[in-house]
Amino acid sequence: MGADSPAESRCGVPRSPATVPRPCLPALAVVAGLALAGCGGASERGAENAAGAKVTTTPEGTLIATRIDRRRGLVFELQTSTMLGVSNGLYVRLTKTAPAGTRRALLHNPLAATCDVPGSTIREFPGHWDHRLGRFGTALLADPEEVVMVGRATTCALWVGQPGDVEDIAVFPDDEFSRVRMR
């Protein structure tokens, strides 16, 4: 379905029941693996862009754009790796001062997140909070495929869903739980 489909919100997140897989998705594993390959730390040459997203580069060349929603206590990290082609991922973490309501919502409900990239259709994967890594992450697949989202994404958003009537099915609201400007 396209982003203009009535069954999807304007950001491509399903409005009605969506599959929420419990095991790690292969695409997410690839993005996470590429992102972890660059976890030697981001360089100190990060710079604030016009809207305040800090962009850094790992020694392996992974681009990371970071933006904080202070009201909700969330850190959004949009990552693009070009090591083996172009792969993009979005990660959401809690700040140390995140409100209790935000913590409850993220730790106990289905989640979906995506970014708006002008001229591209973005596909994402709903899932659950990863307690081991302390974050929610999703692969972002672009059409056209070779899109470096860091620097092009205008906003990123997170939705908190509710479990559906059937196992591994969730329902997401039209309105996002949190949205940040990336540029």
Kindly state the tokens that stand for 125. Answer: 């994967």
pTM for the whole thing? 0.73
pLDDT at residue 169 greater than cutoff 80: yes
Tell me the pLDDT band of 183, cut-offs 50, 70 and 90. confident
Q: What is the pLDDT of residues 34-72, one digit of tens each?
A: 333 333 333 333 333 434 689 999 999 999 999 999 999
Sequence-distant (≥ 6) Cβ neighbours of residue 141 within 8 angstroms: 27, 88, 122, 123, 124
Q: Identify the CA nearest to 157 among candidates 126, 133, 120.
A: 126
Domain boundaries, the chain: 26-181
Q: What is the pLDDT of residue 88?
A: 95
136-143/121-123 β-pairing: antiparallel
**Model pLDDT for residues 88-123, shown as the tens digit of each residue:** 999 999 999 999 999 999 999 999 999 999 999 999
What would the two tokens of residue 75 be? 């850190």
